Amino acid sequence: MENIIDVQHLSYRYQDTDGRPALDDISFTVKAGEWLALVGHNGSGKSTLARAVDGLLPFSEGTVTVGGIKLTPETVWEVREKIGMIFQNPDNQFVGATVEDDVAFGLENRQISRAEMVPRVKAALDEVGMQTFAQREPGALSGGQKQRVALAGIVAIAPDILILDEATSMLDPQGRRDMLALVQRLREEKHLTVISITHDIDEAASADRVLVIDDGKLVEEAQPAEIFAQGERLIHLGLDVPFTAKLKQALQDRGITVPTGYQTTTEMEEWLWQSLSNT
Amino acid sequence: MSNFIFGRYLPLNSTVHRLDPRSKLLLSFCYLIVVFLANSWLSYAILIGFTLAAILSSKISLGFFLKGLRPMLWLIAFTVVVQLLFSPAGGHVYFHWTILNITQAGLVNSGVIFIRFLLIIMMSTLLTLSTQPLDIATGLSSLMRPLRWVRIPVDTLAMMLAIALRFVPTLMDEATKIMNAQRARGVDFGEGGLIKQAKSFIPLMVPLFMSAFNRAEDLSTAMEARGYRDSEHRSQYRILTWQRRDTMTWIVFLMVVAAMLATRRW
């Protein structure tokens, strides 16, 4: 399969930092139809990388080629046609006053006539199962529903590439699973290439390939299975071990006996209450 | 707090609600002029009749209009009393004490002022009760469209207004959260003297502004990623359509204006 994204020797420096590059000589390629996960600590540069690919950052060194088009200030809008991006905070990317207005936003920007917009908005909302919410205001939606609306906005403009910039990190576990299942389905139906930037182990596991970024450098590239086999090192790579497991580990380190096996947050809460009231 | 500005819209399904917002905005504006043109009792009676008919056809109960009147009550009372006491002499004098006179002319003037206030407030309350803020914004920007010819960036202003309206509830929620968080840390909102009260709002305003700036930055990145370049080169999803009921409403309104003009003193 052909490479839909080709990044060569990409470097970027934020102006206000101490000169340490946010991206340091990064090269990688993404095949059409592939699902690529980018993992790394907060501040490792993974979001910066995604933004550079979408032309949202004016990098000076290196080249980015998307779908055969080299990214330059002249071609940036052409490149963005091919990429749909979903960000972390569901509220801060909801532009429209209602669900349908928001889905139409990308179409309005492309000066598509209203006659064509109406069926496309409707079809996109059908696709993500939000058609009954078309007239609702964002305040009446949950975080997961808002992210689904954001997905509908991308389905409406039909790009080739979907970038999820920690798009599930502010959702509850159920919302996360729903969102991932929806992305999986859309990816198969629309033959999308997916790049997901994530801390979530399930999301990284859905990928065909995982890139690990640390301090702006590409430090590892592997199949998810190879990464997960590294156990303890996952935390160093910037992947989230479930919160209850982290809490238990921290308690254990302080010499407190904790129940074995996996607990849900509620079970853990229950156990904490009981142990606190016994002391 | 949100009730103060936005709880005003009452979602009902009446003819008034379904009118084109442009039609309602323009009509409210014209009505303002018409109210000041009326001067005879009969011409006022006609306008009162029209206003009542408009209120009735909106299916909104009168109570909401009285509520809309409440914040203006002191202003109305003050103006009426001033008119009553300081009017120029004319007609029968009912009461006289130093510079204060209650005369027949004064009584008439204060009655007229009262009716004018009442009519204007009723009509503007009807506009806000029956029209969503977003529709008002869309209507306004559509009416201001001709200003593009004098290089006023109407589309950009409309986009700013729409985004501002969109984020009001979000920022309201945020303000409530911050207030609760600061209360948990021992801040008293709305207690003590004026200066102390004002100071207590600093721990609210600073984080609220910080977050608003962060949101603005996120939002602009998201807008750009979705292909937003400028407000001029965009198509419109939300459109306003002038319908038969708008034309009918204007015909009725113009007939009322004609009747008012015929009965006023020239």
Residues B240-251 have pLDDT tens digits of: 889 999 999 999
Do B33 and B111 fall into the same domain?
yes
Regarding whether B248 and B216 lie in a shared domain, the answer is no
Model ipTM value: 0.83
Crossing angle of the two packed helices B154-184 and B133-143, in degrees rounded to 10: 150
Tell whether A228 lies on the interface with B, counting CB pairs under 8 A.
no
pLDDT over 50 at B5, yes or no: no
Under a CB-based contact definition with an 8 Å cutoff, are residues A82 and A31 in contact? no
Helical residues (DSSP H) of chain B, grouped into ranges:
2-5, 15-18, 21-37, 41-57, 62-69, 73-86, 104-130, 133-143, 154-184, 194-200, 202-225, 244-263
Do B101 and B212 belong together in one domain? no
- pLDDT for A235 equals 66
Residues B60, B21 share a domain? yes
Q: Is A243 exposed, middle or buried (0-12, 13-18, 19+ CB in 10 A)?
A: exposed
What is the per-residue pLDDT for B1?
37
Chains A, B: CB pairs < 8 Å = 91
Instruction: For residue A270, give every residue at least 6 positions away whose Cβ sits within 8 Å of its Cβ, in sequence order, or none.
Output: none
Give the SS3 label for residue A4. Answer: strand
Do A182 and A217 meet the contact criterion of CB atoms below 8 Å apart? Answer: no
Residue B9 belongs to a domain: yes
Answer whether residue B56 is part of any domain.
yes
User: Is position B158 within any domain?
Assistant: no
pLDDT of A125 = 96
For chain A, strand residue ranges (E) read: 3-12, 23-31, 35-39, 61-66, 69-70, 83-86, 161-165, 193-197, 209-214, 217-222
Look at residue B153 and tell me whether its pLDDT is greater than 50: yes
| CA geometry: angle A7, A12, A16, nearest 5 deg | 160
Residue B229: pLDDT above 50?
Answer: yes
Does residue B76 share a domain with residue B39? yes
Domain membership of residue B144 (yes or no) is no
**Positive or negative: CA dihedral A205, A206, A207, A211:** negative
Inspect the interface and report whether the beta carbons of B226 and A109 lie closer than 8 Å: yes
Do B128 and B256 sit in the same domain of this protein? yes
Q: Are residues B36 and B115 in the same domain?
A: yes
Percent of chain B with pLDDT over 90: 43
A126 vs B70, residue with greater confidence: A126
Same domain, B103 and B181: no
Contact B8, B230 (CB under 8 A): no
Mean pLDDT for A215-230 is 82
- Residue by residue, DSSP assigns B63-100 as HHHHHHHGGGHHHHHHHHHHHHHHPPP-S-EEEEETTE
Question: What integer is the mean pLDDT of B141-148?
Answer: 89
CB contacts, 8 Å: B166 with chain A: 94-97, 138
pLDDT-derived band at A14, boundaries 50, 70, 90: confident
For A28-50, what is the mean pLDDT?
Answer: 90
Q: Which domains does chain A have, with CATH numbers?
A: 1-82+160-241 (3.40.50.300), 95-158 (no CATH), 242-279 (no CATH)
Inter-CA distances, B184 with B177, B178, B187, B191, B207, Å: 11, 10, 7, 15, 15
> Which pLDDT score, from 0 to 100, does residue B4 have?
44
Distance (Å, whole) CA A212 – CA A181: 23
pLDDT value at B106 more than 60: yes
pLDDT at B2: 41
The alpha carbon torsion through A30, A31, A35, A39 (nearest 10 deg) reads -20
Domain residue limits at B88: 2-132+242-263
- The answer to whether residue B148 sits within a structural domain is no
Q: Tell me: pLDDT of A110 over 90.
A: yes
pLDDT of res. B104: 82
Identify the residue whose tokens are 């809008």.
Answer: A77
* A110, HSE (Cβ side, Cα atoms, 13 Å): 22
Residue A14, chain B, CB below 8 Å: the answer is no
Length of chain A: 279
* CB nearest to A87's CB, from B170, B222, B239: B222
Query: Do B101 and B12 fall within a single domain?
Result: yes
> Which tens digit of pLDDT belongs to each residue from A61-76?
899 999 999 999 999 9
B43 and B73 co-located in one domain: yes
B38 and B116 together in one domain: yes
Same domain, residue pair B56 and B12: yes
In residues, how long is chain B?
266
* Mean pLDDT in residue range A271-276: 86
* B136 contacts B21 by C-beta, under 8 angstroms: yes
pLDDT band at A263 (very low <50, low <70, confident <90, very high): low
Task: Kindly list the residues from chain B whose CB atom is less than 8 angstroms away from the CB atom of residue A157.
Answer: 226-227
Check: CB of residue A106 under 8 Å from CB of residue A153: yes
Nearest CA in chain A to B166: A97
Q: Average pLDDT of A227-247? A: 69
In a domain, B143, yes or no: no
* Interface probe with B: pick from A71, A87, A91, most Cβ of B within 10 Å: A91
What phi and psi, each to the nearest 5 degrees, are found at residue A213? -115, 135
Nearest to B218 among A80, A92, A97 (CB): A92
Q: Tell me, what's the pLDDT at A241?
A: 65
Are B237 and A108 in contact (CB < 8 Å)?
yes
DSSP B38: -
| Of the candidate ranges A159-163, A201-205, B237-241, the one whose mean pLDDT is the lowest | A201-205
| Tally of structural domains, chain B | 2
- Residue B147 placed within a domain: no
- Residue B159 to residues A100, A173, B171, Cα–Cα distance (Å): 16, 35, 18
In a domain, B233, yes or no: no
Q: What percent of chain A clears pLDDT 70, i.e. is strictly above it? A: 91
Residue A183 has pLDDT above 80, yes or no: yes
